[in-house]
Structure 1
Amino acid sequence: MSASANSADLDRLARALDSANMPSLVAVLYQLTGDHVWLEDPYLPTRSRGMDDNDAGGFAPEVAQRIRAAALDAIFEWTNGTPPALPSPSNDQLVEMISAAVGESVPPEFASMIAEDMGFVAADEQVVTASSLSVIVIGAGVSGMLAAIKLREAGIDHVVLEKNSDVGGGWYENTYPGAGVDTPSHLYSYSFAPRSWSTHFGKRDEVWQYLSDVAADHDLRDRIRFDTEVSTSVYDSARQRWTVTTTSGEVLTADVVITATGQLNKAKVPPIPGLDAFRGPIFHTAEWPEGLDLTGKRVAIIGTGASAMQVLPAIASTVGHATVFQRSPQWVASSDVYFAPIVDDVSYLMETVPLYRLWYRARLAWNFNDRVHPSLQVDPEWENPAQSVNAINDAHRRVFTRYLENALEGRPDLIEKSLPDYPPFGKRMLLDNGWFTALRRDNVTLVAEGVASIGPDTVRGQHGTEVEVDVVILATGFETHKLLTPIDVRGRSGRSISDGWGSEDAHAHLGITVPDFPNLFLTCGPGTVLGHGGSYITIAECQVRYIVDVLKYMSDNRIGSVECKPEVEEDYVRRHDEAHSRMIWTHPGMDNWYRNDAGRVVSTLPWRIVDYWEMTHSADMGDFLVEEARQASSA
């Protein structure tokens, strides 16, 4: 790191430090000075409550001022050329630093992942010596863009096929009011591409702009063929190549196919009687009509999941009346910074002091990633399994219940309808972005019924409630279990991957490779969605690193095909299912989109992120059937 400063910069920095997240600043101060006093009382922050940023750190004002003054001196010395006392902290030091910053003990196995994410240790080089491999990437969303960036860095020839007219995947497609992330912006970012975010939880336009900027910075659009949708992908074992056909009939061939089609990309429209009979606008949130004016309209929202919870607060003040049909309530958590902008002083601090940004992101990663994972394990001796799965989960239930009751105080009708009767985290946890405030409005009605039918201008609930409406919004989620649909993917045997998986039972080793499908690699594959929190971009980086590691081996050793061994996938799937059998998402008290109709959890990762990071950090080529290249490849 290098920097320069003058007296004016010092004044600016002093003002910025007044807005600093104090726990992050403590870690920066220790790393710059090496003085262990900053990791001792009275300079140890308190533990963050839930998902709060804990900006004040629990410090008394005079203690906070001492920390800021010392940080100002240390940062000024650094900007004038004094190197950090700990430029690359040891694993033991990192664990102590992150534990101090989050106010609780972080297990030692997290050190290596933290060190690599923060850039304190260099990742293994993934550059091929002289590649003759060719790769087709299907999709230019978060994972497809990442694959293209890393393939180019490795020196591997590739092309990206994207059905839309620009990058971004779901962030390009989903334009409904209120759309945004429920992961902190600084965490929902590629590790190598920080951004000066305007809000703590980015809305759709800024998230898409971020992805667009990353694409521009890495010249991705030159390697992406837009408006090109894939119809079939067929493997030829004799030629050790894939033939990919587009919906327009164009045929391309490559040695390797990487799918980056995601799990939240095909709208799920339930077979409600009368859907086609409705006379007004009726549409899925992912297909929001351009230019739609809801002013004064009577609107029905079907569903109360993540998209509904974003749409309602965004349109409640515009519509004449909104009626929300709720099949089952959701657990909702609060965030002290959800509505808060990231002020200029904080952005200045992150840009001027990269260590501050790194430590702020590291704290977010702990608080939003694996911190909650132990509380999702089922305690077989727990005395009240209907409401919670263990003592910590029960404490979460009490906290979330109090928040709901306070937010809906004076509305016992809404409290009764909104309070879930299943354990917290049993479904995807949602952040309150004004949902409870919107429910309290005079022009909003919550109907605790699923939808039985739709008429020309009505929606009828399963218990008989019928309302007249002008517009119907289907906030009914996505076909999360029908991976790769509608692409027909056929492997070595000629069998379609959908035939092997069935309609909703996808499985893959590490969620990435499947027997009988050589040289095929999945991103966002089965069992890799994060149910316990965190940023999917972290998982995408794990998967792409693993894939490029395999491709590097193929290129350096003239390998024509690699195919996951059946026994390797079987063992992984067994361990995956056994882990889920001990976790909350198999709880019988609720339905969720993580598991299929047979009760098997198809979508969600059962492991901690740090475990998956370790599993995918380098490829074990003993897991594959390997064939030497039979002929020279051509792009």
Structure 2
Amino acid sequence: MAINDDDDFLRAAIDEAEIPALLPALAQLTGDLSLLRDDLRPDPTDRFSPQGALGDEQLAAARELALRTLADWRDRGCPTAPKFADGQVRRLIEFTTSGALDDYLPLLVEELAHDGDPGRPDWTKAELAADAPLHVVIIGAGMSGLAAAHRLRQAGVPFEILEKNADVGGTWLENTYPGCRVDVTNHLYSFSFTGNHDWPGHFSTQRALLDYFRDFADEQDLKRHIRFGTEVVAAEYVEAEHCWELEVRDAGGSRRLRAQAVISAVGQLNRPSYPKISGLADFAGPSFHSARWDHDVDLTGKRVAVIGTGASAVQFVPIIAEQAAEVHLFQRTPPWLVPTPDYHDPVPSGLRWLLRNVPHYARWYRFWLFCRSAEGVLPAVAVDPDWAGDPRSVSARNEELRQLLVAYLEMSLPDDPELVRKITPQYPPAAKRMLRDNGTWPATLRQEDVHLVTEPIQEVTATGVRTTDGRQHDADVLILATGFQASNFLTPMRVTGRDGVDLHRRWGGDARAYLGITVPGFPNFFMIYGPNTNIVVNGSIIFFSECAVNYIVGCLRLLLERGSAALECRAEVHDGFNADVDRANLLMSWGKSTVHSWYKNEHGRVAQNWPFSLMEYWKRTKRPDPADFLLRGGGSE
């Protein structure tokens, strides 16, 4: 790769760079470790300050240093970067992390992926057991299903994907409401093994994400393995033959097929939740859920009632408010807003140029984003059992965070204390999902044609919504922004394991799995993004899905190495793990608080969230421990 641009161009690009990523990238590019100056070390633990909390003088010095280095490399003809030893790479990592994440070093080395794709299986089925029967069915062609397919193909394991929709993308195919976008920066919300340096925005829209997954499926030639328009109705384990029999439904009707292993990649947020409100079916006008947006309904000049102020509403209400004559917004519980000034901003052209043209920079940029989010604000949402301060927080650090978030609301609405009061949560930060905001939400609520209603809903009528204070709020269109049935894992699919045990009956509305992946009594059945694998204040869910895929592929390897036909998690391992998770979740903001949240199931247990660090999940899923499983069939019996 050659650079021929002049110094002025380089200077303009560097002004838009993330300096904590650029300096180690240039050090690796040139082999000059003197660029890693102690006075220019960033602080990855400061999530609210830009550029790793480097001051103006530090940034000026770093940019001048980067310009001289990049211009010199250009003038020398852009020579190939020297090969770095692991010890040198570790020095680069230690500079970027300032030693704050030393315990993460093995994970960070892997995440940087400076020497290829470290997650690629180092084995193939042909090498281990070419003649062993092993066909895998993946349910779902969303992000997790595609990741699983990619790794299985690398390992030479035969597979097919069953997808109920007509295309890949999962939630990014189904959710098409106006303003839909991701809330994790896209250079991190992407596969580690196939990055994208040309994201249009820092937090890209639904369409950009859908295009990313479509392109990945095309580039990896995965679509030929997918049966589109095919929904799995039921899966039953045939114990005598150590295989799964699936009942599927497609345009041709119902049929059955068999597989030695099943991977469910249906996710948690794929079935809309409809509120139990009296009269909901009586509304005379158009009515739809935000996750099933009806684009045939023209909102121009209409009176629109929106029930819910969660993540979807915060994204689409500002847009429909520009079209509708009037919006009545019914709020049960306000969300905490996390200030994110660049939430809607495009990626600057200079930064995009650096990502495309400066070797190593794209990896270090993604790595820097990972470092900043690896722990996130996890320590600030942990419960201090001795905390005797404000009951709206769970520790001193949580109170500091709460005050910062309250100050943001007050700053956003300096002349409207009553509105600030209405949208200020009375529960601890992170007890419910916190939402990103760049000032758009408070500004929308201040519009004269937007009415925030905080009185509880009594009923929906044919012409609108009536609240418990007796007021009728007339509407032409009703939109439900009421989230998903997150706790109803695997529904509506029936899953029957050994001895005819129905998984949903066993769970009884309280889904549990070992590592969120496997359940005793259900051999060779695996889940990605299963119970207690949701992360809310740190990292990217794609990281978790990749960890789960790595573990599942490791389980399949174990089957082939041992000559076994079936692998089943031991009950005591499963139960001990879930006891640890439950104890830890009670020591987090979302476990201690009594506020209503989709993090909790109908029993009041936190069935969604992972209460530990990213490092903990990475270590636990690095490779399966044979002692955790019962192996049956083949050479195991």
TM over 0.5: yes
Q: Distance in 1 between matches of 2:282 and 2:314?
A: 26
Corresponding position of 1:591: 596
Cα displacement (A) at 1:93: 2.1
Q: Secondary structure at the match of 2:333?
A: coil
Alignment of 1:231 with 2:263, yes or no, is no
Q: Secondary structure at the match of 2:499?
A: coil
Alignment of 1:383 with 2:380, yes or no, is no
Q: Map 1:424-573; keep pairs closer than 5 Å.
A: 424-433=429-438, 434-503=440-509, 505-573=510-578
Cα displacement (A) at 1:525: 0.4
Deviation string, structure 1 residues 572-613 (Cα, Å, up to 9, x no partner): 101111111211111234121111233211001111111101
Alignment of 1:165 with 2:144, yes or no, is no
Corresponding position of 1:629: 634
CA contact (8 A) 1:265 1:478 kept: yes
Alignment of 1:24 with 2:21, yes or no, is yes
Q: Distance in 2 between matches of 1:341 and 1:89?
A: 36
CA contact (8 A) 1:459 1:468 kept: yes
Residues 292 and 498 from structure 1, CA distance in 2 versus in 1: closer, same or farther, beyond 3 angstroms?
same
Q: Distance in 1 between matches of 2:421 and 2:5?
A: 57
Q: Distance in 2 between matches of 1:620 and 1:585?
A: 31
Cα displacement (A) at 1:57: 3.5
CA contact (8 A) 2:145 2:161 kept: yes
Q: Which amino acid aligns with 1:496?
A: D
Q: Which amino acid aligns with 1:113?
A: L
Q: Which amino acid aligns with 1:232?
A: A
Q: Distance in 2 between matches of 1:199 and 1:490?
A: 44
Quick one: which of 95, 98, 123 aligns to 2:96?
A: 98
Q: Secondary structure at the match of 1:54?
A: helix
Cα displacement (A) at 1:79: 6.5
Deviation string, structure 1 residues 450-480 (Cα, Å, up to 9, x no partner): 3221000110224434200011110000000
Unaligned runs of 5+ in 2: none
Corresponding position of 1:300: 305
Q: Which amino acid aligns with 2:174?
A: E
CA contact (8 A) 1:389 1:423 kept: yes
Residues 119 and 92 from structure 1, CA distance in 2 versus in 1: closer, same or farther, beyond 3 angstroms?
closer
Corresponding position of 1:270: 275
Q: Which amino acid aligns with 2:68?
A: A
Q: Secondary structure at the match of 1:357?
A: helix
Q: Distance in 1 between matches of 2:61 and 2:339?
A: 28
Q: Which amino acid aligns with 1:480?
A: A
CA contact (8 A) 1:132 1:555 kept: no
Residues 10 and 555 from structure 1, CA distance in 2 versus in 1: closer, same or farther, beyond 3 angstroms?
farther
Q: Distance in 1 between matches of 2:182 and 2:76?
A: 35
Cα displacement (A) at 1:508: 0.4
Q: Map 1:191-340; keep pairs closer than 5 Å.
A: 191-195=192-196, 196-247=198-249, 248-340=253-345
Q: Which amino acid aligns with 2:104?
A: F
Cα displacement (A) at 1:630: 8.1
Quick one: which of 39, 47, 51 aligns to 1:50?
A: 47
Deviation string, structure 1 residues 338-369 (Cα, Å, up to 9, x no partner): 12211222112111124211121122113233
Corresponding position of 2:70: 72
Residues 613 and 9 from structure 1, CA distance in 2 versus in 1: closer, same or farther, beyond 3 angstroms?
farther
CA contact (8 A) 1:113 1:613 kept: yes
Residues 46 and 234 from structure 1, CA distance in 2 versus in 1: closer, same or farther, beyond 3 angstroms?
closer
Corresponding position of 2:179: 178
Which is worse superposed, 164-173 or 444-453?
A: 444-453
Q: Distance in 1 between matches of 2:32 and 2:92?
A: 14
Q: Secondary structure at the match of 1:517?
A: coil
How many pairs does the alignment contain? 623
Corresponding position of 1:137: 138
Residues 603 and 205 from structure 1, CA distance in 2 versus in 1: closer, same or farther, beyond 3 angstroms?
same
Residues 17 and 78 from structure 1, CA distance in 2 versus in 1: closer, same or farther, beyond 3 angstroms?
farther
Cα displacement (A) at 1:375: 1.5
Corresponding position of 1:423: 428
Quick one: which of 86, 97, 101 aligns to 1:107?
A: 101
Q: Distance in 1 between matches of 2:618 and 2:307?
A: 37
Q: Secondary structure at the match of 1:252?
A: strand
CA contact (8 A) 2:262 2:526 kept: yes
Cα displacement (A) at 1:88: 3.8
Quick one: which of 403, 412, 416 aligns to 2:408?
A: 403
Q: Distance in 1 between matches of 2:481 and 2:531?
A: 23
**Cα RMSD (Å) of the superposition?**
2.2
Q: Distance in 1 between matches of 2:137 and 2:72?
A: 49
CA contact (8 A) 1:331 1:419 kept: yes
Cα displacement (A) at 1:42: 3.3
Residues 435 and 89 from structure 1, CA distance in 2 versus in 1: closer, same or farther, beyond 3 angstroms?
farther
Unaligned runs of 5+ in 1: none
TM-score by length of 2: 0.93
Q: Distance in 2 between matches of 1:297 and 1:370?
A: 44
Q: Secondary structure at the match of 1:115?
A: helix
Q: Which amino acid aligns with 2:158?
A: D
Q: Secondary structure at the match of 1:370?
A: coil
Q: Distance in 2 between matches of 1:78 and 1:125?
A: 38
Residues 409 and 74 from structure 1, CA distance in 2 versus in 1: closer, same or farther, beyond 3 angstroms?
same
* Percent identity over paired residues: 38
Q: Distance in 2 between matches of 1:233 and 1:26?
A: 52
Q: Distance in 2 between matches of 1:13 and 1:183?
A: 28
CA contact (8 A) 1:325 1:461 kept: no
Q: Secondary structure at the match of 1:238?
A: helix
Cα displacement (A) at 1:78: 8.6
Which is worse superposed, 71-80 or 162-171?
A: 71-80
Q: Which amino acid aligns with 1:547?
A: I
TM-score by length of 1: 0.94
Which is worse superposed, 449-458 or 50-59?
A: 50-59
Which is worse superposed, 494-503 or 82-91?
A: 82-91
Cα displacement (A) at 1:16: 2.1
Corresponding position of 1:603: 608
Q: Distance in 2 between matches of 1:398 and 1:109?
A: 30
